[in-house]
Chain A
């Protein structure tokens, strides 16, 4: 009896998730009247704005990832090694971006870093780009920190550090050659998740008026009929790809550990 209920619940759920995906795929192929074609996709790929905004978001994603790694890995390492008492505070901070909605954060940026403030970031395009990157880093912080922290937990940070120090290594060497390679899997997981978040992000980019992929999608959605579902398919494929890469990377690491 339980099994009947279980299968029913499960299959209904699967249906609910499959239908929108099927819908968007089907709709995206209907541009040419009367037959299925990839016309919508071709239109999208021929649109220069697609490439401009997509590469913009990609670059910003890269910058966010690099910045995130450089910020989070040393901090998580240091907290684990020297400052366990700071842990609750740090963890609380990393949870804040989940508590405070993105729209509120970016609102704060606009008010705080406008042209009449000490740090007039919104005054220039580059400054706003930096601000947006920081905003993305903030959004990705909870996931990045948790991934790296979990990765650090599985290696004995204290002993590795002592061993390295006894062999004469300095802090940067330790971080770059010993810690980072050992938490690479966790870092990659965080990186792919950051990529997924940044590519699709809308609120911050729209309010800071930057030519990112999210606002581009929304603009197209307001004006076109068939290109938006094509974009949705592309966006979903990217998200799926990122998650798939995370799975791949974690599974790969398990094999590595087994060999040792």
Chain B
């Protein structure tokens, strides 16, 4: 190469590498991003096409407010219970001195159960805790306990809570067991050598380390419950006023009388699940950074 060649700036080449992910990007755009954007934009559009906040304002009806509140309550409670019970079971398996052979079946079953949601799950619970369900009848014949008289009705808010737990608890177990495994044995030993009791170790070391994972998984469970449609539809149908059901009805046939209100409802859902998931991701990144 001559000196002149060396002094010339390198030719700008087309970044052909980026073509490699073109199919993926196209798919994501067409079937994920654009549809979502359509909703987001539509939430702020009037029927004529102009920008408006009216749809947001129209959300402020008794029925819709109640739907959001019920959804939030449902998601909070199932997330909380799912976290607590899932944590208890996961710690029992990892730390509780249970035989090692228990762990693998639990993980497999959790994988199955966390995917067994929707219509069949509703059927299973109706067959168990419904008016003619296995447990309902057994309690009545064996113990004389009448669930209905006690106020429990499967086809209601609390029935949905119990049903949701069937996939929330396993999801918690699946996510938290690796986090519990990550608690290195040496940390416990180091704490012990330095004079700490078991309770002190948990309070000062283990729980603070686990906290981001716990909180993050709580957020994930919350989002998971908030967006669930099929189980609720199959179990309580139109009886229970929650946002996904309302949106479902609105999409099927404009029951709200205002097509753009559907957009606003969906937008509200995106905001809430989005926030919860961002929380989860942020917290998980943070805990991974510590445990590097």
Contacts and interface: CB of A to CB of B under 8 A. Distances in A.
A, B from the same assembly: yes
Interface of A: 2-3, 5-7, 9-10, 13, 16-17, 19-24, 26-28, 71-72, 74-75, 78-79, 82-83, 86, 90, 93, 95-112, 119, 134-135, 137-138, 141, 193, 196-197, 200-203, 206-207, 214, 217-218, 221-222, 228-229, 231-232, 235-236, 239-240, 243-244, 246-247
A7 B39 CA distance: 48
9 contacts: A13-B169, A26-B134, A74-B23, A104-B36, A105-B32, A200-B115, A202-B119, A229-B123, A247-B108
B123 A221 contact: yes
Which of A23, A218, A246 has the most CB atoms of chain B within a 10 A radius of its CB?
A23
A20 B125 contact: yes
B229 A104 contact: no
A177 B13 CA distance: 30
Given A24-B128, A82-B20, A207-B251, A6 B229 contact: no
B201 interface: no
B165 A16 contact: yes
B32 A86 contact: no
Given A107-B262, A107-B266, A221-B119, A93 B32 contact: yes
Given A83-B20, A108-B35, A138-B31, A98 B166 contact: no
A107 B34 CA distance: 12
Contacts of B17: 78, 82-83
A220 to B, nearest CB: 9
Nearest to B272: A101
Given A9-B85, A10-B89, A101-B226, 5 more contacts: A27-B134, A75-B24, A90-B24, A101-B270, A103-B229
A27 B119 contact: no
Contact of B96 (A5, A22, A78, A106): A5
Nearest to A17: B113
Contacts of A141: 32
A203 B117 CA distance: 12
A78 B39 contact: no
B97 interface: yes
Interface in B102-134: 102, 108-109, 111-113, 115-129, 132-134
Interface residues of B, number: 82
A24 B113 CA distance: 14
The secondary-structure label for the interface of chain A is helix
Contact of B129 (A23, A28, A193): A23
Interface stretch (B57-65, B176-184, B273-281): B273-281
Contact of A214 (B30, B230, B269): B230
Contacts of B27: 71, 134, 137
A2 to B, nearest CB: 6
Contacts of A9: 85, 88-89, 91-92, 96
B124 A232 contact: yes
Nearest to A193: B115
B120 A7 contact: no
Nearest to A216: B119
A19 B134 contact: yes
A200 B230 CA distance: 10
A87 to B, nearest CB: 10
B119 A28 contact: no
Contact of A239 (B115, B226, B269): B115
A107 B109 CA distance: 32
B18 to A, nearest CB: 7
B223 interface: yes
Nearest to A67: B27
B120 A232 contact: yes
Contacts of A104: 36, 39, 227, 247, 266, 269-270
A236 B119 CA distance: 11
B96 A23 contact: no
Contacts of B216: none
Nearest to A82: B17
Interface string B38-75: 11001000000000000000000000000000000000
Given A20-B124, A218-B119, A75 B21 contact: yes
B248 interface: yes
| In the A-B complex, the 8 residue pairs with the closest CB atoms | A6-B96, A108-B35, A23-B128, A101-B227, A27-B127, A78-B20, A6-B92, A202-B230
Contacts of B252: 207
Contacts of B23: 71, 74-75
A244 B127 CA distance: 25
B111 A243 contact: yes
Nearest to A196: B115
B102 A99 contact: no
B28 to A, nearest CB: 5
B145 interface: no
Nearest to A134: B31
B134 A107 contact: no
A205 to B, nearest CB: 10
A14 B185 CA distance: 27
B97 A2 contact: yes
